[in-house]
Amino acid sequence: MRVIPVLFLLLASSAMPMVNAQGQPDIVQEHWYHSWSTLTADAHDWMVENPEIVELRSAGETVQGRDQWVVVITDESMETKTDGTPKEMVYIDGGHHGNEHLGTELAFLVAEYYIEGWIAGDEDVIEVLQNTELHIMILLNADGNDIDSRWNINQVDLNRNYDHHWTTDETASGSGPFSEPETLNNADYMNEFMVDADLYVTMHTGTWILAYPWGFTGEMPSDYELFEHIRDTIHETIDADLPVRNANAGIYPTHGTSRDYGYGVMGYPTFTFETDDEQFLLGTAEELSSRLSTELDVMRYLISNVWYWRARLQVNSLDLAIGDKMTLDVTNLGHASTSNASVQYVDSEGIELWTSDNFSVNATNSTVAVLPADNLTLVDGGVFQLYYQKRVIDASTWVNESINQTAIDISEPDDSGWLPFASPIWAILAIGLAGYKRNKHFNADY
């Protein structure tokens, strides 16, 4: 276990030039761990030098009064995506355990990657920052980090202190759920700013693994298809050896973790990213960004594809036979299933007049739902919209999305010549459905 020479770090942070014209002094960043004071200096410099993409917020203070900095990275010139829809939201934290330095450095490296990529004009990074807000709390447990301790200054294991199946059976879980300011501040930040996030990754050091929920039970999470899709893609395209498993089996059973809270209470797809167990030594020749290159590649993949980490329903056709039924053809472009979808009919004021029965759409699949509609009465200015949950987990966010008018076909009851589709359209649909079947992900493990 390495003890950080505090006096040395204080000298380093005050006497050394922390920045240069190109951004961060990589020779320093690549070979030292951050303390709270050097992280504060670096994050401040990021904000001052790159105001067009970096904002620095404090989510609150630790027991000893250190700010829990959140680095917010996005193209500030764009309020929304170019199509006017809200930007994707990604939440990352590091340093729950103060002595797990590589996990904290991974959170720092992710922030640095996007900031330096923007400065260098990297097209992929620019596209991500135009479409995504990254919120990164690099060091949650700054007090513990300063004394190289797993716990916070109250001797609490912060990753057992969340209000999700909290129990005194876990070692040092605190006097109650959210008894510690560090965890409460993190949850408050999620609830205030990150409700719509479609990815949360919390970074640690231990067994090398990317672990998804649950920790508190061995049962698979409701959104297992999403997690297994991500696992398979990582194995096929990045690293076949990185274990990607549910935390209960892949690490060990745990209660009150931020990962389970993020999934079970906030409804995010969540991961614990544990880098390997060996800590990094001062003076080593290996650079942190090369030591953590696989982890960075996985993070880039998870962030670039965040659009897919929820259900994304697209209505191909909505055929309403007035006084009878509605036939809905809907495709899921995302990789998460949804089980509580419905069609709503609202008036011009947005007041709900009618809601269909619920239907489900599997991940990356299509569904034709025939829904009773005998009690639906159309009004002037009325519109149809979809209402559904982004994922299967109960806590996941509900979305309301309008249905493209051109997909809607309404027929009167006496319209005996009405047909739902012209035959060439059927042929095109059949080809499309065959394609979906071929591409459908096959889950045989559980």
Site for Zn ion, rule CB under 5 A: 97, 100, 204
Tokens encoding 444: 């045989």
Q: Are 173 and 156 in contact (CB under 8 A)?
A: yes
CB of 258 to Zn ion, least distance (A): 10
CB of 141 to Zn ion, least distance (A): 10
CB of 223 to Zn ion, least distance (A): 24
CB of 149 to Zn ion, least distance (A): 12
Length of the chain measured in residues:
446
Tokens encoding 288: 């942190």
Tokens encoding 26: 């990589």
Q: Are 364 and 284 in contact (CB under 8 A)?
A: no
Q: How far apart are CA 256 and CA 241, in angstroms?
A: 28
| Nearest to Zn ion of 97, 255 (CB atom) | 97
| Nearest to Zn ion of 125, 251 (CB atom) | 251
Task: Quote the Cα angle for 430-434-436, to 5°.
Answer: 115
**184 vs 63, 71, 158, 187, 337, CA distance in Å?**
11, 18, 10, 5, 31
| Nearest to Zn ion of 133, 274 (CB atom) | 274
CB of 100 to Zn ion, least distance (A): 5
CB of 205 to Zn ion, least distance (A): 6
| Strand positions, DSSP E, 193-337 | 200-205, 209-212, 244-246, 270-275, 313-321, 325-332
Tokens encoding 297: 């590649």
Preceding peptide of 214 cis, ω within 30°: yes
CB of 31 to Zn ion, least distance (A): 23
Strand partners, 338: 361
- Could you tell me which residues come within 8 angstroms of residue 34 by beta carbon, excluding any fewer than 6 positions away? 42, 101, 104, 105, 108, 138, 139
CB of 68 to Zn ion, least distance (A): 17
Task: Output Rg (C-alpha) for the chain, integer angstroms.
Answer: 25
| Nearest to Zn ion of 186, 364 (CB atom) | 186
CB of 274 to Zn ion, least distance (A): 7
Tokens encoding 182: 């560090």
Tokens encoding 187: 């949850």
Q: How far apart are CA 398 and CA 68, in angstroms?
A: 30
| Nearest to Zn ion of 159, 332 (CB atom) | 159
Buried b (16+ CB within 10 A) or exposed e, 373-398: beebeeeeeeebbbbbbbbbbebbee
| Nearest to Zn ion of 24, 258 (CB atom) | 258
CB of 248 to Zn ion, least distance (A): 16
| Nearest to Zn ion of 88, 274 (CB atom) | 274
| Nearest to Zn ion of 204, 335 (CB atom) | 204
CA 150 to chain centre: 25
Strand partners, 72: 55, 135
Q: Are 273 and 294 in contact (CB under 8 A)?
A: no
Shortest Cβ contact with Zn ion: which residue?
204
CB of 167 to Zn ion, least distance (A): 18
| Nearest to Zn ion of 209, 306 (CB atom) | 209
| Nearest to Zn ion of 164, 204 (CB atom) | 204
Q: Which helix (H) or strand (E) holds 88?
A: strand 88-94
Which residue type, as a one-letter code, is found at position 271? F
| Nearest to Zn ion of 165, 204 (CB atom) | 204
